[in-house]
A and B are shown apart, each in its own frame.
Chain A
């Protein structure tokens, strides 16, 4: 078995001994410049990402079982949910697989109830021996999170931006787990199960991080990478920054590979569990190509890593995005 951590790499001038130069080609639509990012993502733009396809099932026949160590102790369905008046709150979701390429992060107004309230109403008691709440979706996806998260609280939601949750976003309902990437926020729940030992979920079986806590990260939404900007004309650099429950304190930007950093303006930064939107008005003075990189620092002092590619994507992106621009 080959182990990359123990690998031996043969570099001869940075390339394989027999490698010939290749020719790579990238075709992208003309990059879109935007001046600002709306604080609340439009429903049609809210990212949708699943390990498989959207499951097809009859919502009217749907129910979600609640199991305690293998025994079904309760269940709920759409009739149950209809009996509640949803609490509306703002929340940001980010995919653990998001990256500068796939900026799967969005913010919305969700409507739902704390999962603990539902448990209480259904008479579900949590045994002191329970360490995690596991879940399985109608698509077969499964994972878990620590039982203590329920006190945050963990939300069961069925509305988004004042509308019923679309099927692709998890209808009839989904979980929102503050502080943890989307992999812990199951869509289309088929069963929730209490377990007295750590559970290994679908992506953990594939070496992705079990914890799934948000890492400090920043994306540049505009200008698009490799865009051309005009010398002497002011252009808005705008993007997102997020670290889950750890509020973003500052977003900075460098034009000289980290030798100096400029502080960005925070257009929108409500606090924990909601993204920060930042901007930097920049007037390029010299022609040529240059790289622009971001970094964030959180209220707790955590900071994105220097490598714009992140440190280990299996734990979630933790870098500050870098773009290259052409000043003409």
Chain B
């Protein structure tokens, strides 16, 4: 049975927190909406679907808070609700045939601590990705059309260890980078799988070059993930890049926007992501 695995995860993982670990009482919270669009659809082990378009959006909340007075230690949580629509072909009879799956997404929990005595921007983090959906229920109410529906995600419990580093270059320029090892566990929540797919552990990475000027922060980001297995035919891999802009509209309150284009993708859809949101920080 053909089921469509979504590889497009719009909100980044723990790399969003950056290399600077928050101290006690410091927090950052954000809510926003992300869109992702692709002119073709490609996913793990799925025959490329010529003539099918993909559109996904998700709303989510993200928060991070410093926990300790004696040492920078923070936790972050990301909880999205996603809607994924697969357009099944050209419009017919005035209608565009499409299948939409709406579910909670992958919950991401992480713990991050600075490894420098002074709490400087070199830190390690541990992230868990916990599916909050049951892929076995996707399209279940539609009989033989069940397989039209894109799955909500890979349905797999994953763990990632991160090393994050940052630096100021003097003046308004700064930069940060993150490197992670993602272990794909064999634990699937609420899904019986599609066969003998074998997802591989992945290297995840991200880097940003930032400019702070007055109430504006502009960042150019590169993010990606690469399978560690040779000749991997199923694990989603991609490299995306684009700008992120934060504009302070009031003390500690910012409007954020981002744009990300997949410049390379393998076993995954290659498309464009757009996001906007409101954040508050202290």
Interface residues, chain A, CB within 8 Å of chain B? Answer: 1-12, 14-30, 49-53, 97, 99-102, 205-207, 225-226, 291, 308-310, 312-314, 321-324
The answer to whether B148 touches A101, judged by C-beta atoms less than 8 angstroms apart, is yes
With contacts A7-B188, A225-B144 taken as known, whether A15 is within 8 angstroms of B1 at the C-beta atoms is no
Which among A7, A99, A291 has the highest number of chain B CB atoms within 10 Å?
Answer: A7
A-B contact number at CB 8 A: 176
| Residues in A whose Cβ lies below 8 Å from that of B160 | none
The answer to whether B45 touches A16, judged by C-beta atoms less than 8 angstroms apart, is no
The answer to whether B188 touches A8, judged by C-beta atoms less than 8 angstroms apart, is yes
Interface residues, chain B, CB within 8 Å of chain A? Answer: 1-2, 45, 47-48, 50, 88, 92-104, 107, 130-134, 136-145, 147-149, 152, 155-156, 184-201, 229, 231, 233-234
| Residues in B whose Cβ lies below 8 Å from that of A7 | 186-188, 193
| Residues in A whose Cβ lies below 8 Å from that of B101 | 22, 24
A312 CA to B194 CA, complexed, in Å: 9
With contacts A1-B201, A10-B189, A29-B97 taken as known, whether A97 is within 8 angstroms of B145 at the C-beta atoms is no
A97 CA to B137 CA, complexed, in Å: 23
| Residues in B whose Cβ lies below 8 Å from that of A3 | 186, 196, 198
The answer to whether A314 touches B195, judged by C-beta atoms less than 8 angstroms apart, is yes
Contact residue among A1, A51, A206, A308 (Cβ-Cβ distance under 8 Å from B233)? A206
| Residues in A whose Cβ lies below 8 Å from that of B107 | 18
What are 29 A-B pairs at a CB distance below 8 A?
A: A1-B184, A1-B198, A3-B198, A7-B188, A8-B186, A8-B188, A10-B188, A10-B189, A10-B190, A12-B190, A15-B134, A18-B104, A18-B107, A18-B189, A20-B132, A22-B137, A24-B100, A25-B100, A26-B148, A26-B149, A29-B93, A99-B1, A100-B147, A101-B145, A205-B231, A206-B234, A207-B233, A308-B144, A309-B147
A29-B92, A205-B233, A324-B144 known; 13 other A-B pairs, CB under 8 Å? A4-B194, A5-B196, A8-B188, A10-B187, A14-B134, A22-B101, A24-B101, A24-B141, A26-B139, A101-B145, A291-B143, A309-B1, A321-B144
- Shortest B56–chain A CB gap in Å is 14
Nearest neighbor of A10 in chain B, beta-carbon distance: B189
| Residues in B whose Cβ lies below 8 Å from that of A101 | 2, 145, 147-148
- Shortest A16–chain B CB gap in Å is 4
The answer to whether B189 touches A16, judged by C-beta atoms less than 8 angstroms apart, is yes
- Shortest A212–chain B CB gap in Å is 14
A4 CA to B191 CA, complexed, in Å: 11
The answer to whether B190 touches A15, judged by C-beta atoms less than 8 angstroms apart, is yes
| Residues in A whose Cβ lies below 8 Å from that of B198 | 1-4
Nearest neighbor of A25 in chain B, beta-carbon distance: B100
The answer to whether A2 touches B97, judged by C-beta atoms less than 8 angstroms apart, is no
- Shortest B238–chain A CB gap in Å is 18
| Residues in B whose Cβ lies below 8 Å from that of A24 | 99-102, 138-142, 149
A5 CA to B188 CA, complexed, in Å: 12
| Residues in B whose Cβ lies below 8 Å from that of A25 | 99-100, 102
